[in-house]
Structure 1
Amino acid sequence: NSAQALKGTIFDSPTYLGFWSIFIFISEVLNFYSHIHLRSLRTPVGEPRRYPTGLGFGTTVCANYFYEALGLIGLFAITGGDLGVIAYIAVAVIFMHRWSGQKYRRYTKEFDSKVFPGKRWKMFPLIY
């Protein structure tokens, strides 16, 4: 039985599980906030697009992908690196990586360097 196999390990620790549960919750709340912020920036067809600013968007182009990836890191930690979770994370990060690169290129073409200076990470601060 898998529950018996976890007895006495870190995955049986209420502190460990509580920490990662809170980590995932906070990551997803930040992801939700960034999506609400992006939604508020939508403009009617023909009007210029507005660049997102605020929580996370000052350092990354796609703060929503960053927060989603943080939630996935928490999922990895809480499941102990289950192979299905690893495969899910790999596929999700590959797609978000591609989309963030496309958005970065679009922003550099669309926005003046004062609005989008281009000195922002695409998805992961200090990494990509």
Structure 2
Amino acid sequence: MAIPMVLGVLFPPRLAITAASVLALTSLGILGFLEIRGIHLKYSKFSNAAASSISSKVPSRVGMFFLYTPAFLAGVASFWLFPDGDLRFLLLKSAITIHFFKRVFEVAFIHKYSGEMGIDSMIIISVSYFFLSFSLIYTQLLTLGLPEPSIDLKNPGIALFLIGISGNFYHHYLLSKLREEGGKGYKIPRGGLFGMVICPHYLFEILGLLGISLISQTLYSLSATLGSAFYLVCRSYVTRRWYISKFEDFPKEVKALIPYVF
């Protein structure tokens, strides 16, 4: 018997869900390794990391808006497409919709932008987020009618999701305060957990995704969370390396993602 079944924390996976889980974990893992190798998705401070003509870019605000809107709309549509289901299904649809609504809200009202985004990266990330949103909801739909896991993790999942989304929003707000409207430069972030790690927003994003996987308790949601966490670990590592290369006074005790550890 598979380990997740013995532990009683996951719904029994079907073949299609298992295959999708492996694909999600593998593809996100590859993206993480590419980040370490210096092949970045061209957004944020790495938007100019690879040569690209101006015709293949869009303003960063436009690009970020298109990253998250399809995934948000997939969450909204799920309430109409799949109106039935149990409390777990409702919580998952709500968490995913809130997660991407927050991102769209931040693009519109919180973040400040000065650069451009590669259209190729915009398309890759947008499609990935849309597929993640829809697939998390659809794989949860397939669990309806199955016996519940013997250990119910919905409540810890809700708590972790709320901690993650709140911490992520707060540190995004702090980042937005570093730059005047129209400014193009970068500064070393201060406040919150920035005195301990350079990417606390990634740390809280991982916590929020872990919360979603605990709400869901499917193999696919767990695989998507692990894959996303690995990518963000790699992204935080190269972000810290970038700050060290740009700022001579960057405090060496500030870690990449996990205080005192990494």
Q: Into which bin does the TM-score normalised by the smaller protein fall?
A: 0.7 to 0.9
| Residue number in structure 1 paired with 2:219 | 83
Q: What is the TM-score of this pair, normalised by structure 1?
A: 0.76
User: What is the deviation of 1:99?
Assistant: 1.5
Q: How does 1:8-87 map to 2 (within 5 A)?
A: 9-11=150-152, 16-42=153-179, 44-45=183-184, 47=185, 49-80=186-217, 82-87=218-223
User: Is residue 248 of structure 2 the alignment partner of residue 112 of structure 1?
Assistant: yes
CA distance in 2, matches of 1:104, 1:62: 8
Amino acid at match of 1:77: L
CA distance in 2, matches of 1:55, 1:34: 7
Computed over aligned residues only, the root mean square deviation of the Cα atoms, in angstroms, reads 2.2
- Alignment gaps of 5+ in structure 2: 1-142
User: What is the deviation of 1:54?
Assistant: 1.3
Whether the 8 Å CA contact 2:164–2:204 is kept in 1: the answer is yes
User: What is the deviation of 1:79?
Assistant: 2.4
Residues 4, 94 of structure 1: CA spacing in aligned structure 2 closer, same or farther, 3 A cutoff?
A: closer
Percent of residue pairs bearing the same amino acid type: 25
| Residue number in structure 1 paired with 2:257 | 123
Q: What is the TM-score of this pair, normalised by structure 2?
A: 0.40
User: What is the deviation of 1:76?
Assistant: 2.7
> Which ranges of 4 or more aligned residues in structure 1 deviate by more than 3 Å?
1-4
Which residue of 148, 166, 169 maps to 1:6? 148
- Alignment gaps of 5+ in structure 1: none
SS in 1 for 2:196: coil
Residues 91, 19 of structure 1: CA spacing in aligned structure 2 closer, same or farther, 3 A cutoff?
A: closer
Paired positions, count? 118
Instruction: After superposition, give the CA deviation of every residue in 1:58-89 in whole Å (9 maximum; x if it has no partner).
Output: 11110000001111222232323x22112211
CA distance in 1, matches of 2:202, 2:246: 21
Structure with larger Rg:
2
Residues 20, 86 of structure 1: CA spacing in aligned structure 2 closer, same or farther, 3 A cutoff?
A: closer
| Residue number in structure 1 paired with 2:234 | 98
